Structure 1
Amino acid sequence: MRAKLNAILLAIMILLTSGSLPNTVEAKTADVTSLASTMGKTVICIDAGHQSKGNNSKEPVAPGSKTVKPKVSSGTQGIATGKTEYKLTLEVALKLEQALQKDYKVVMIRRTNNVDISNSERAIRCNQAGADMTLRLHADGSVNREIQGMSFLYPSTDIPSTKKIASQSLEITKVLSKAVLKETQATSRGLIPRSDLTGFNWSTVPVVLIEMGFMTNRNEDMKLSEDEYQDKIVQGIKRGLDSYYKVAAKN
């Protein structure tokens, strides 16, 4: 039995780490025992948005599209804290990983060192991992420093590659947004369909992007770096996922 589990583990590790960018993505695989315990669980892929150095080389915004966009940016930065978006999203992603791993199998797009993972590659890694859904964590920025609040983005039906996942993505977005907003009491900027996001258009699984708040708003920027507020975001996401996937009913 242990030999069989070792073989399964090795196969999954090869699948998740294969590709042209070695050592840029690590999956949550743990040991043989914990792998066996996750079998049959819903698979959540967490993508902590951005990275320390942007890559302005272009990639198609969708499979077969002639429209191209920069592969990935470094994101915005806190006006009060000076914290970069890529650091903030990773902080929340790591907390979310810990919160979910009891009831879900979690796959992390884990950034270490000076990685270079494009938005299409992030989506493809989640596809390859057999995710049931992908959750993309981001923060917002604006020249208007008064703007604040959370936005919840999902794939539009306008892109052929996302038509099959748009409806379920919207349903998950509705449940997640309700739970997160209730937990955080954040201002809601609504549920927004997007057809221009590479990370959506290359996904073959339902996907939701949460803009957790505006780092260009002084008060919200400071709040986003507070452990207590980050924990509320994580708890809201967990409750939303539990509600959608009915985890409580399974336990």
Structure 2
Amino acid sequence: MSYVGPDFDPPQPRRFRRGPLTVALAALVPGALIGWFVYEAVGGPGDSGRAAAGTSATAPGVSSSPSVTASNDDKPPNSRPLTGKVVVIDPGHNVTNFQHTAEINRKVDIGTNWKECDTTGTSTNSGYAEAQFTMDVSHRLRKILERQGATVKLTHDGGSPAWGPCVDERAKIGNAAHADAAISIHADGAPAGDRGFHVILPASVHAGGADTRAIVAPSAVLGRNIESDYRRVTGEQPSNYVGDGTGLVTRKDLGGLNLSTVPKVFIECGNMRDSKDAALLTNGVWRQAAAQGISEGIVSFLRG
């Protein structure tokens, strides 16, 4: 999320190949992951035959015993723990932002100061855009949460709107939905060698149109739950460059948090500019684990 530099090339359209699902491949992983490979058999955004991304289908870094439920579709309604809950997912950036530089460079009030409406986001060195990653994980996360009974809303989806939305609008969408929990999905663009994930919590802000005082405490609980479950399910380690190894960071310069009136956090799922993290982020099996880990943190928070 944080990388905006002169050597960032706008994401270009890519042609994706769909690899076969083999018996030998299924034998390499726990039975709980088989459902993921079924998804991979029909392909997922960001996977170019997997080999091109330098990743293997065994999803290096995924916990050997992730607590994954392949499907809750056949469960009776009273077994769906999120029935009646509303979750808003904010996929960071937008794949077409680079075509709307004037619009996304417009400044908006985030309470503590004025910032750009949005940015292009970062990408891996091979050109896999952060916005592609965030949308893919958001779709996976939505499916998991809906299977558990939640009402899920995305701040944008499938090119609608055509750019953005601006960070203040993203916060307003969660507020208007009266979300029980909201999360913004990102991946970082730090220097190579900086690895790991971190969850960003809202600081206490009371300035301009921002007042986070009521959501600081519940957001911290949400963030801690997500940090713990994300680490356990994915095997990804907390950031080695921010957060002092806790996987948690508090910030007051993000409009999506400052302007939220519902419990909300950001997650930087890994560093796209580091080759080892990029190998995970470009792997569809690992992205499914990422969505699962995030979902389990949200469930833990909503169930109290």
Deviations 1:58-105 (A, max 9, x none): 01122xx5x2110100100111x3111111100100111111102211
Residue among 30, 50, 53 paired with 2:93: 50
TM-score (norm 2): 0.65
CA distance in 2 between partners of 1:185 and 1:39 (Å):
25
Q: How many residues align?
A: 207
Deviations 1:179-216 (A, max 9, x none): 00011111102211110001111111010100000000
- TM-aligned CA distance change 1:121 to 1:158, over 3 Å: closer
Unaligned runs of 5+ in 2: 1-76, 240-246
> Contact 1:45/1:109 (CA < 8 Å) preserved in 2?
yes
Residue among 162, 187, 202 paired with 1:155: 202
1:39 is displaced (CA, Å) by: 9.9
SS at match of 1:73: coil
Identical columns (%): 27
Tell me what 1:61 maps to: 110
SS at match of 2:116: strand
Does residue 77 in structure 1 map to residue 123 in structure 2? yes
Matches within 5 A, 1:124-143: 124-142=172-190
> Contact 2:188/2:270 (CA < 8 Å) preserved in 1?
yes
Tell me what 1:171 maps to: 221
Tell me what 2:47 maps to: none
TM-score (norm 1): 0.78
> Contact 1:159/1:195 (CA < 8 Å) preserved in 2?
no
CA distance in 1 between partners of 2:278 and 2:218 (Å):
31
Tell me what 2:171 maps to: 123
1:40 is displaced (CA, Å) by: 5.5
Deviations 1:105-132 (A, max 9, x none): 1111123333231000011011111211
Partner letter of residue 141 of structure 1? Answer: G
Tell me what 2:235 maps to: 185
Residue among 90, 112, 118 paired with 2:135: 90
> Contact 1:44/1:132 (CA < 8 Å) preserved in 2?
yes
More helix by proportion, 1 or 2? 1
1:241 is displaced (CA, Å) by: 1.8
1:243 is displaced (CA, Å) by: 1.8
